[in-house]
Structure 1
Amino acid sequence: MSLISPQARDALQHWLETQKSLKGASENTLKAYNADTVDFITFMTSYKSEPQGLAALSRITTRDMRAWMAATRGTDVGARSLARKLSSVKSFYRWLSEREGFEPTAVLTIRAPKFQKKLPRPLAVDAAKAMIETVEFQTPHAWVAARDSAVLTLLYGCGLRISEALGLTGADVPLPDTLRIFGKGGKERVVPVLPAAREAVQVYLRVCPHPLEPTSPLFRGIRGGALNPRAIQEVMAKARMQLGLPATATPHAMRHSFATHLLSAGGDLRSIQELLGHASLSTTQAYTAVDTARLMEVYDRAHPKA
């Protein structure tokens, strides 16, 4: 932050506080916003050889923006990452221009680089079930096996993020018919709990050696502390090698599988959006592309081109 003027630093901090209080931005999002905008202002300070106070920032031109984007790409930053950085800068400029009363067109009209959006990589139904069963054989400890199976069952059966599953506490058990989940940015949603998920958690609780208090984390590490997401990532890595599944078979892929399989079974996008806690329907629509892509694979196998 040393290359940023006090005015710009104070404005940036105020903007971040606004994003948190009014828009519920998560800590990770705020860190990304801060890093992206600091990089931008730091570049402009060096590029223009003068401190970038609010007046200087209001005079940024289209040429300046292109110079920043070119320099950023020159540091091996990919198109997707640059698009994210540009989005952060534009968001900051929308707020700053309204506050300071200047025209932000030069910044807001710059187009993000094009990139191929990555589709979610769900597992097939039988592969998702096999993954849940196989993680149980990766440890000599019966309670750890039950724990890992329970976590994956929640990811696949309820569409939870790994952070949401590991955020459950003793106050959440026995699991009710529906769970109230607080996801990204504190966004609240209610998800139904399948009997299989409820039973998997109960099996784990019966063999877990660590006492469970209402405020204690539900899923525990070997020494009794909160379970680290890395442990689930590692056990899935072992299981997918045994099953011959690709590296995309991660904890988040279980959530993708939940959504894709619901869509294939006739679920509507709005309902799936609510179950996943997506702020925008466009995020959920990615699963439509996945479903279409799979349909085309089946079509191509059935009707090979000459």
Structure 2
Amino acid sequence: MSALHCADPDLFSFELHKRMHAARGSQAAHPAFELHVALSLRRGDCLAVLGASGAGKTTLLRLLAGLTPADGGHIHAFGRCWLDGARSLALPTRKRRIGYVFQDYALFPHMSVRGNVRFALRRGAPERLADELLETVGLSALAGRRPAQLSGGQQQRLALARAIAAEPDLLLLDEPLSALDAGLRRSLQDELIALRRRYGLTTLVVTHDPGEAVRLAGRAILLEGGRIVADATPAELFGGRGEALTLGGRVLDVEAGADGPLYRIDADGRTLLARAADGAALAPGSMVTLVAERWTARPVPLTPPQDAAAPRTSPG
């Protein structure tokens, strides 16, 4: 099936429809809904996609990649048509020039580091491109290792190199840094910014971290029930809404408070104070995920999510 040609070679635009069915046994948490998202991006733009679990963020990326079939709509990608429901046109993933970094990286465990990147090269591309990308992401010395022999940060770099090796028109990142600690996440954000600029990558990044969205993206959307309810710059979005937003942090130290210990937390360069509501003890260096009701330039009371592994905190 050949792609139709679309008018604007510098525009990526789409309108997608997908009926989302409730998962068995979880209707209350993730009820059925209709995903309907329409957007346009210019070449080189970076868009952050935010929303609660089950809002449709990952589904949107999978629809764009062709991994999940759309019920209707279109995708016009820089002068080519990837999807046109009216004409029953739907290019397979391999023809869409997509780079995709999954949450779990999805590296090939039986291949070497170099082999993972070479596998993604476009037909006819010189194999030296794989070595150039490994050098760019600092993995040249580890080219012969298997993914299981790499640290989390190294696996993330490998996943990025493999995605870029495909010379993608569109780079899709599904919470690629969520499993890393705050310090490493910040470092890899810097590397991702540099890679995007070097290769001129048009990017969609799913994230729960407002600090990450502010650093990486010039535009952000908030999804609720498969619909866009906010579309602005990240700073505008997080400065004017009241939805809960998550932010990674690290405990710096503990100080005495009138009602118990106060924990000083470094959250993406901002120092915040929080109190453990359940009396749990947090040691300096502990990594926590904070939840803020609102993102502002001033520190706000934050609480970690209700998770057995993360003590709950309340405003100090």
Q: Normalising by structure 1, what TM-score?
A: 0.27
Q: State the structure with more CA Rg.
A: 1
Structure with the bigger percentage of helix: 1
